[in-house]
A = this chain, B = another copy of it.
Amino acid sequence: MNLLVTKQRHVIERFTTFNGSLIKNVQVGWESYGKLNQEKSNVILITHYFTGNSHAAGKYHEDDAEPGYWDAIIGPNKAIDTNKFFVISVDSLVNINAFDGTTITTGPSSVNPDTGKPYGLDFPVVTMRDFVNVQKSVLESLGINKLHAVAGPSMGSMQAIEWASTYPEWVERLISVIGTGSIDAWTTTALEQLTVPITLDPNFDNGNYYNKPKNEWPKKGLTHSLAFITQSALHPEFFIQTGEQLGYRPIEDDVLANIKNKPSMVNWLMERAADRASSMDANHLLYLVRANQLFVTGMQGSLEEGLSNITAKVLLIPATTDLLLMPYHAEKIHSIMQDNKQDSELIYLNGSLGHLEGLAGIVKHADAIKAFLNN
C-alpha cells in the first residue's frame, strides 16, 4: 500500500533573484505527505538532488513503476514518519525534468511574459538561495514559519544547509546527505565538464532551440551529459559488478575492428541516458550546474561564516565510496562546527554505489534518521 500523492502548483507573480533579476510568473510544483498539524509545528522539508524533483516519496498512481526517490525513509512508520510529520518538497527552479509531464518549473524553457518567447539563455542565473526562497514562499502560503527539519541529498543538502544558515530561526534540524557546505575549486571544474557536451552539440545554437522541431534540439549532447553524470555518481565497483552481469570483456570484435563502434558498456550507459534525456532540458542542466558552482553556505563570505549562523542540530551523512562529493566535504563541515561547539553529528553510508548511496542506500541509516528527528 503506497502513499498516493498529487502535484500541487505554486505561483509567485514577481520573484527577485539573488543576483537582483526579476522573474515574473514563477511557477513551481510541490508535493506533501502526511498532515500538517494545527500548530504547524510538524513540518519536514525535503530538498531534492540535481536530476530530481519534488517527488520524494509515494506514487501518483497505484500502478506507477517506482515511488519517489526517498520512499524507503518517508512514509507511515518509516524513518521520516508521515503519521507524525507533514513532509513537503518543491520542484526547483530550472528543474532538469522540465518535460516529464509532472514536474512544474520555471527556467530557460519557460515563456518570458515580456517577450512571449522562451527565455533560453536570457533567463537569469539562479542559485541555491533562490531555490530556498521559492520553497519559503510555498511554505508561507501554507502559513508555515518553522521547520522541524530540512533534509536533502547532494544538491538538496546544499539547499538544506543554506536554509539553516540564512533562516536559522526557521530550522530546528538539518540532515545533509552526500552533501557539501561549499563548492571547491575541484568540484566547480568537475561540474563544468557536465556542460561541455551540451554547449559543443551543433544543435545547441546558444540555447535557442525551443522553437525548432524536437529532432533539432541538442539531445545528443544532453545524453552525453547525463551519461557522464551517471558515471560520476557511481563507483567502479558498481560498474564492475554490472559488467560481470552483462558479460563485459575488454576486447570485443567490433570494437577492435572499427574506431566508430563503441564498447558495449558505453552503449549500455548511453541507452539509459538517452531514455532520460527525452524528458529533460539541456539549458536547464546548464543552469543547474551554475547554481551548484555558485554555492557556499550563506551565499557570501566563507564556509566558516556561513556555518557560524546555524542554530539547528546537524546530521551529516556522506557516503564512503562517493567520488563526486567525497566525504571530505561533510568532514569539513563537521570539523568547523565542532570547533564552534555547534551540535553536529557525522555518520557514514557504506556500500558500492558511490554518490548514489545517498539515494538508493539511504535506508541503511533509517534508524539514525528516526532517532535524530525524534530528539
Taking beta carbons and an 8 Å cutoff, which residues of A are in contact with B?
A: 18-19, 121, 123, 125, 127, 182-190, 192-193, 196-197, 200-202, 220-221, 224, 227-228, 231, 234-236, 238-240, 242-244, 246, 248-251, 255-260, 262-263, 265-266, 269, 286-287, 290, 293-296, 299-300, 323, 326, 328
Contact = CB atoms under 8 A, between A and B. Distances in A.
A236 B328 contact: yes
13 contacts: A125-B257, A127-B256, A182-B250, A185-B242, A185-B244, A185-B265, A189-B231, A189-B265, A192-B262, A196-B196, A196-B197, A255-B293, A259-B287
Contacts of A185: 239-240, 242-244, 246, 248, 265
Given A200-B200, A259-B290, 5 more contacts: A18-B256, A184-B248, A188-B248, A188-B250, A193-B193
Contacts of A193: 193, 227-228, 231
A251 B190 contact: no
Contacts of A323: 323
The residue in A187, A236, A239, A255 that gathers the most chain B C-beta atoms within 10 A of its C-beta is A236
A11 B197 CA distance: 39
A286 B259 contact: yes
A250 B183 contact: yes
Contacts of A183: 250
A196 B202 CA distance: 13
A255 B189 CA distance: 13
Contact of A200 (B202, B234, B260): B202
Nearest to A297: B250
Contacts of A246: 185
A251 B197 contact: no
